[in-house]
Amino acid sequence: MWRRLLNRRIRKRVTEIALPWGPFGIDPYGIDQDYVAFAMGCIEPMYRKYFNLQTVGIEHVPASGRAMVIGNHSGGLPFDATMVLGSLFFEMEPPRLAHGMVEKMAQEWPVASPLFSRVGQLTGLPEHAIRLLEDDRVLMVFPEGVRGLGKLHSEKYELKRFGTGFARIALKTGAPIVPFGLIGMEEAYPVVSRLEPLSKILNVPYLPVPAHGVPWPKPVDLQLRFGEPIRLEGDGNESDEVIEAHVRTVMDAVAGLLAAGRAER
Amino acid sequence: MKVVITGIAGVLARGVAARLAEAGHEVIGIDRRDWSDAPPGVQVVRADIRKRPAEDVFRTQRPDALIHMATVTHLSASADVRVRVNLGGTRAVLEHCHRYGVRKALFIGRHTVYGAAPDLPLYRTEAEPPMASSTYPELADLVAADGYAGSALWQWPEIETAILRLVYILGPHARGPLASLMARPRVPVVFGFDPLFQFIHEIDAARAIALAAETPLRGVFNVTGPPPVPLTLLCRKVGAQPVPVPEPIFRHVPGRFGFAPLPAGAIEHIKYPVVVDGRAFAEATGFAHELGEVETMAQFAARRGRASL
């Protein structure tokens, strides 16, 4: 069985994640230690070799307690999310597991749907976000959503409009926001077309066509830069103007990290 | 306390009755079915809850509390029978409570009323609307009965009404929908889906209901046991083989090839989880489950002479 073939070092590291694991190595949200080990086993060679990812400022992610890690979305396909997952897992002591918020549509895909759930990537619903934070977990948010993921190479490192839901959730739950910028994914997967007519027919948000033709990122060195935690003051019931100012603060922090990272390369 | 339990011949209701009788309460059961070896302190009246003899129990005995457990849950019953018993019966007994001065009413419902769909969250709270009428049309009567019972809170505020939404009941004797599905050696699952399933041991469930009867309680409460487990793991641990069936042909499979029958609407509830938050009940009553997921599944398997796969 596949569970016996898991990398033992990674498998052991998974048990060190501070989650309320039950008798079957499953947590109350259905996260399965074996699936996490499998996912991390797939991510590790990409993380260490293929993208040679350099993490800067991992100390800004709290070692325990609730937090939201929020950054830019890029690269056509959601490899950027796996790199953030990898960073929190491989660089933190003890490792932490970030919960991503998955596109609702993915819940309807056979095989993919339980795979996402078993590694803690739940449907993107405010109820999930709030509950996970109240359970003192780490939430990974890309407020640009598919607008950011599918951005064209000509728009690289431009931040698309941030959704505002995350700011109200941060205020409601008192979770600190750790901004991050991921640099390099736009070169690894330069999107030249989104094939909008065809994607409409297939009912997917877009089909990212890269300049290099093959729908797989090129081996480009990446840098993941975390910034100092931002603590927003309020209760989440503020007017839209106030919320938009908070969103702007976070967006500026992400933009600053991207600029700093690009200057260093 | 004098307690009327409707549907007392059911496995769970017997557990509740025995527990309340042992605690010194006087229990009167109403059921069309018989319970011949009822323990001392439990009186069984064989009657249909919608008929005169059932009302006579309320009129002559003047009970302090009602625990309404007479709902038809097996989906082999026709929709018409289900609506008449589940909705009509609930209405009848709650009206009796109002008319004959019953102080307390407990409606025993189930967590499946929340419904299963890809865009519904895990850990539904009592604040969320029951969606099962659309996700599982065959459960519409139970959703309606649950909602009607809730209307007692404003219709008859003098009655202390509580609606308990219990997760699936499992254990050596349980015969609910999940137990029926797991009773077969092979269980059809939808290929590529493995939702979390939430269950409680029949002993804990009976304890929770008895506790609710003895505790001041008003409102709607989810009642939960151990954390949920994925469906395929549940199958294996109760000694049943999960058989993945592609969704397009899934509806042709139940009831054939040795699989348990399932209504067409059940598919969403086999693809997606219904997981509820039981914290409000735990806080209101102090309830905590005692039997974990490992023992509960093992007892279910052992009773059927099966071993975990």
Domains of chain A: residue spans and CATH: 2-264 (3.40.1130)
Q: What pLDDT does B82 receive?
A: 81
Q: What pLDDT does B88 receive?
A: 93
Distance CA A245, CA A229 (A): 17
Chain A residue with CA closest to B119: the answer is: A104
Q: What pLDDT does B83 receive?
A: 82
Helix pair angle (A79-91, A33-45), 10° resolution: 100
DSSP B75: T
**Residue B100 at interface with chain A, using a CB cutoff of 8 Å:** no
Of B119, B226, B227, the CB nearest to A104: B119
Report the amino acid identity of residue B260: A
Distance CA B214, CA B64 (A): 11
Distance CA B221, CA B279 (A): 9
Min Cα distance B13 → chain A (Å) is 29
Of B121, B194, B292, the CB nearest to A128: B121
Q: What pLDDT does B223 receive?
A: 98
Helix (H, G, I), strand (E, B) or coil at B137: helix
Q: Among A172-176, A230-234, B132-136, where is mean pLDDT lowest?
A: B132-136
Quote the distance between the C-alpha of residue A176 and its chain's center: 16
CB A68, CB A133: distance < 8 Å: yes
Min Cα distance A88 → chain B (Å) is 24
Q: Is A64 exposed, middle or buried (0-12, 13-18, 19+ CB in 10 A)?
A: exposed
Min Cα distance A109 → chain B (Å) is 8
**Residue B172 at interface with chain A, using a CB cutoff of 8 Å:** no
Interfacial residues of A (vs B; Cβ cutoff 8 Å): 20, 22-24, 26-30, 32, 104, 107-114, 117-118, 122-123, 125, 127-128, 131
- pLDDT over 80 (residue A56): yes
**Residue B292 at interface with chain A, using a CB cutoff of 8 Å:** yes
> Where in chain B are the domains?
2-170+199-225+274-290
Q: What pLDDT does B263 receive?
A: 84
Q: What pLDDT does B255 receive?
A: 86
Contact yes or no for A29 and B122 at CB 8 A: yes
Q: Calculate what percentage of chain A has a pLDDT beyond 90.
A: 88
Min Cα distance A128 → chain B (Å) is 6
Min Cα distance B101 → chain A (Å) is 41
Q: What pLDDT does A134 receive?
A: 98
Contact yes or no for B292 and A23 at CB 8 A: yes
Q: What pLDDT does B189 receive?
A: 96
Q: What pLDDT does A29 receive?
A: 98
pLDDT, one tens digit per residue, over A134-145 is 999 999 999 999
Q: What pLDDT does B74 receive?
A: 67
Contacts of A115 in chain B (CB under 8 A): none
Contact yes or no for B229 and A24 at CB 8 A: yes
Q: What pLDDT does B76 receive?
A: 63
What residues have CB less than 8 Å from B18, skipping those under 6 apart? B39, B42, B206
> Residue B186: which of B230, B238, B228 has the closest Cα?
B238
pLDDT, one tens digit per residue, over A156-167 is 999 999 999 999
- Of the pLDDT bands very low, low, confident and very high (cuts 50, 70, 90), residue A59 is very high
CB B16, CB B106: distance < 8 Å: no
Distance CA B117, CA B78 (A): 25
CB contact residues (below 8 A), chain B span 76-95, against chain A: none
Contact yes or no for A114 and B194 at CB 8 A: yes
Task: Write the ipTM.
Answer: 0.92
**Residue B219 at interface with chain A, using a CB cutoff of 8 Å:** no
Size of interface A-B (CB pairs under 8 A): 64
Tracing tokens 């993380």 back to the chain, one arrives at A47
Contacts of A26 in chain B (CB under 8 A): 227, 229-230, 233
Contact yes or no for A125 and B230 at CB 8 A: no
Is 3.40.630.10 the CATH number for B2-170+199-225+274-290? no
Contact yes or no for B192 and A23 at CB 8 A: no
Distance CA B230, CA A161 (A): 37
pLDDT, one tens digit per residue, over A88-144 is 999 999 999 999 999 888 899 999 999 999 999 999 999 999 999 999 999 999 999
Q: Is A197 exposed, middle or buried (0-12, 13-18, 19+ CB in 10 A)?
A: exposed
Instruction: List the structure tokens of B79.
Output: 């929709």
**Residue B229 at interface with chain A, using a CB cutoff of 8 Å:** yes
pLDDT in tens, chain B (309 residues): 999 999 999 999 999 999 999 999 999 999 999 999 999 999 999 999 999 999 999 999 999 999 999 987 666 667 788 888 889 999 999 999 999 999 999 999 999 999 999 999 999 999 999 999 888 988 899 999 999 999 999 999 999 999 999 999 999 998 889 999 999 999 999 999 999 999 999 999 999 999 999 999 999 999 999 999 999 999 999 999 999 999 999 989 888 888 888 888 889 999 999 999 999 999 999 999 999 999 999 999 999 999 888
Contact yes or no for B294 and A109 at CB 8 A: no
What residues have CB less than 8 Å from B228, skipping those under 6 apart? A28, A30, B196, B197, B198, B199, B273, B275
Q: Which stretches within chain A are classed as H helix?
A: 8-15, 33-45, 79-91, 112-118, 126-134, 146-149, 165-173, 185-188, 196-202, 240-264
CB A83, CB A226: distance < 8 Å: no
Contacts of A20 in chain B (CB under 8 A): 227
Instruction: List the structure tokens of B298.
Output: 């093992």
pLDDT, one tens digit per residue, over A12-55 is 999 999 999 999 999 999 999 999 999 999 999 999 999 999 99
